[in-house]
Amino acid sequence: MNKSFWSDRRVFVTGCTGFLGSWLTAHLVDCGADVIGLVRDRVPRSLIVQSGLINKITVVAGDIIDYHLVERTLAEYEIETIFHLAAQTIVTIANRAPLSTFETNIRGTWTLLEAARRNPTVQQVVVASSDKAYGSHKELPYHEDMALLGSHPYDVSKSCADLLARAYANTYELPLVVTRFANIYGGGDLNWNRIVPGSIRSVLRGESPVVRSDGTPKRDYVFVQDAVNGYVTAAEQVPNALVQGQTFNFGQDQPVPVIEIVETIIAQSNYPDLKPRILDQIQNEISDQYLDSRRAREVLGWRPQFTLEQGLRQTMEWYSDFLSTDLPDK
């Protein structure tokens, strides 16, 4: 990461109040960037609000699907760099109510891309795709040249957003890079039905964590600070011909079964004898998913700095502080 690159740079972050968006915004502010954040809903317990960080950025209130608002923001604030993170990110919600997911994840992406295309100050656009965009393949790990085969609402929304981004890069030469991350975890994620925050909250309360699957699906996990490093590193290198218009996978390249994540969390808690409660009830979710991150390592020079154990330990400490008033006396 090149801290001087971001000094006084005008950066637009969509999804800045989300889990990853909060961490990314904090890093950019720390580097001296002039951050403009798009905020649809104010979430009082979100990291960006609780930390006071939201008072250190310019807030634009509105929805990513509002084209005129997005274009006005890019023009009036003379945005140079865009991180497009705004999305509905929960698979179960997408399955239950797909229209809002399609609106935000697909329409929101073409709205942002079209506005960026029409504003000459924009120098870099980073679009957050996902490992879910690949859908289900017999061959693993996923590499960047594989087809995008999303077949359920959330997966499809990410496949579409990914394809749209590359269409704008290829057709209009929009200076853009697409990131496909493994499962990102860390403090500040308030989506409790995700395996890491949900399991940590349970064990901190002395309760058995719930596993919605049978525990066998394999996933790759990347700590949020490593993810932020990946995003800013990719943005800095957009002018590179090997980066412009390309896609990059980011992960530990060490897939583990879901049950192993839960057992590691239990082992690091004050209740090591807890047993997970296996529901085996998931539907419309891909079983094994993990990435090949060689391109990010070789082209961008990115490498994760945190092992899974180190990342989970820091994450547990964050939630212990955050939930301190809700925890039983030791």
Class of domain 3-185+223-250: alpha beta
What confidence tier does 281 reach under pLDDT thresholds 50, 70, 90? confident
Average pLDDT on 9-25 reads 97
Rounded-to-integer distance, Cα 46 and Cα 118, Å: 32
H/E element, 110:
helix 108-117
Please give the helix or strand (H or E) that residue 270 lies within, else none.
Answer: none
Dump pLDDT digits (tens) for 228-273: 999 999 999 999 999 999 999 999 999 999 999 999 999 999 999 9
The tens digit of pLDDT for each residue in 39-72 reads 998 888 889 999 999 999 999 999 999 999 999 9
291 and 218 Cβ atoms separated by less than 8 Å: no
Q: Which residues are catalytic?
A: 154
Q: What residue spans in the chain does CATH classification 3.40.50.720 cover?
A: 3-185+223-250
Alpha-carbon span 53 to 290, nearest angstrom: 33
Tell me, rounded to whole angstroms, the distance of Cα 309 from its chain centroid: 20
CA distance 304 to 282: 30
Per-residue confidence (pLDDT) for residue 284, from 0 to 100: 64
79: left (phi over 0), alpha (psi -120 to 50) or beta: beta
Q: Give the DSSP letter of residue 207.
A: -
pLDDT at 259: 95
Q: Domain 195-218+253-288+306-322, what fold? A: UDP-galactose 4-epimerase; domain 1 (3.90.25)
Separation of alpha carbons 108 and 283, rounded Å: 26
pLDDT band for position 326 (50/70/90)?
low
Name the segment(s) of the chain with CATH classification 3.90.25.10: 195-218+253-288+306-322
Mean pLDDT score across all residues of the chain: 94
pLDDT of residue 166: 97
The answer to whether the Cα torsion of 287, 292, 297, 303 is positive or negative is: positive
- pLDDT class for 329, splitting at 50, 70, 90? low
Query: What CA–CA distance (Å, rounded) separates 101 from 327?
Result: 34
Interval 159-190: pLDDT, tens: 999 999 999 999 999 999 999 999 999 999 99
Helix, strand, coil fractions of the chain, as percent rounded to 5:
45, 15, 40
Cβ(178)–Cβ(166) below 8 Å: yes
CB 86 within 8 A of CB 104: yes
Mean pLDDT of 150-164: 96
